Each structure stands twice: as structure tokens, then as C-alpha cells.
Amino acid sequence: MIDKEQLKARLDASKIRSLQGYKDNNYPSNSQMAKNLGNSIVRNIKSVAAGNSLTENNEQAKKRLEICNGCEFFNKSAERCTKCGCNMAIKTYLKAEKCPIGKW
């Protein structure tokens, strides 16, 4: 059983996370994010096997990340997309990757 002090500490921690841009249950489920990661790995392996480069050039990756920065689903403090759960600082550099809502 949780006492009042522990409950207050949890509420305070939740408020701090919220102020920092984190929201509980804001991302897809862990199983969905694992599925997204698996699909991403397969997609990138297939792309490289077909002779394509693994990464985008810096200019294109920066353009992608700028688009993310203006998106309502982008958590700036975590640099993660709340639609797919991906770390966008990484995903924007992978040539075979796409925005989950079609913005790039």
C-alpha cells in the first residue's frame, strides 16, 4: 500500500516529466515499437542489399528533422515521434525510412 508521502513523490515526478515534455502513455505500446523497429531493420537491410546507401546526406537529414520539429507529434525534449516511438535524430539519417504520417 502506498502512503501519502510516496503518492506525493510520484505525482511530483509526473509533473516534472510533463513540464519536461514527457507525457505518460504518449508513445505506442512497447510491442508496437518493437514491431516498428523490426520492420525498420528489415527495410534498411533490403535497401542496402539493393545497392542503396544506408544513410542520407547531412543536408537531407537536417531537412527531415526540421520537418519533425514543426510536427505536433514530435517530442522535442526526447527527440522522439509519438506516432511511431522512434528516435528521430537517428531515423532522419536512415535513407530507407519514412515519416509515419507522410510528411517526408
Residues of the chain whose pLDDT is less than 70?
1-4, 6-25
Contacts of 15-24 spanning 24+ positions with Cβ under 8 A: 20/77, 21/75, 21/76, 21/77, 21/78, 22/75, 22/77, 22/78, 23/75
**Cα–Cα–Cα angle for 78, 80, 84, nearest 5°?**
150
Average pLDDT, the chain: 87
| pTM for the full predicted model | 0.73
User: pLDDT for 36-63, tens place per residue?
Assistant: 999 999 999 999 999 999 999 999 999 9
pLDDT for the residue 11: 62
